[in-house]
Every structure is written in structure tokens, then in C-alpha cells.
Structure 1
Amino acid sequence: MTAIDSKNAAKRKVASLALWSIIVAFVVLGLKLAAWYVTGSVALYS
């Protein structure tokens, strides 16, 4: 594996982790929205 291949693999890993982080954030936001709809509570910081 060359240095360029190693850098490209690292960039792909960072991009993948960033994408999964965004996906998880939207899932959590959706859960909070569902909880708000069910309970009427606006505790967004919990």
C-alpha cells in the first residue's frame, strides 16, 4: 500500500464516519420529534 492509497483510505473512513454521524443525528432528532408529538413536552436538551 502506497502513501497515496493510505491517505485515500483515511479520507474514505473520515467521510464514512461523518455520514454516519449525520444519519444518527437525524434519527435522534426524529425520536425527539416523535416524543414531542406523543407527550407535548418541548425538552429538546435531554
Structure 2
Amino acid sequence: MTERTKSPSAEHLKASVKEAIGKLTGDARVEAEGQRQKRAARAAKATETRDD
């Protein structure tokens, strides 16, 4: 069985949704977590494109 990994763009989308939910609800922790995940997804995408 192979392990499936999420693509950086899918992670970026998930992080954007989490950030938006944090903004809408006024939850600074969730918003900050979404921002952190977006940065991580951008970094993963940057390393992915360099490896090609």
C-alpha cells in the first residue's frame, strides 16, 4: 500500500480556509495557524519546483 501525500497547492488551500475561518470567528490562534501552514506550503512548493 502506498502512502499518499497532499500536494502543496492542496495544503495551501486548506490553510487559506483555516485562516479565513479564524478571521471570521475572531480566533487569532486559528488564523495564525492558517498563515503558518500557508508559509509551509509555499516552501514545499518552492522546493518541489527546484527538484524538477
> Which band: TM-score by shorter chain?
0.5 to 0.7
Q: Distance in 1 between matches of 2:29 and 2:50?
A: 32
Gapped regions of structure 1 (runs ≥ 5): 28-46
Regions of 4+ moved over 4 Å: none
- TM-score after normalising by structure 2: 0.50
Identity %: 15
Structure 2 spans left out of the alignment, 5+ residues: 1-21
CA RMSD of aligned residues (A): 0.5
Q: Which has the higher contact order (CA 8 A, sep 6+)?
A: 2
Deviation at 1:26, TM superposition (A): 0.5
TM-score normalised per structure 1: 0.56
Q: How many residues in Structure 1 have an aligned counterpart in Structure 2?
A: 27
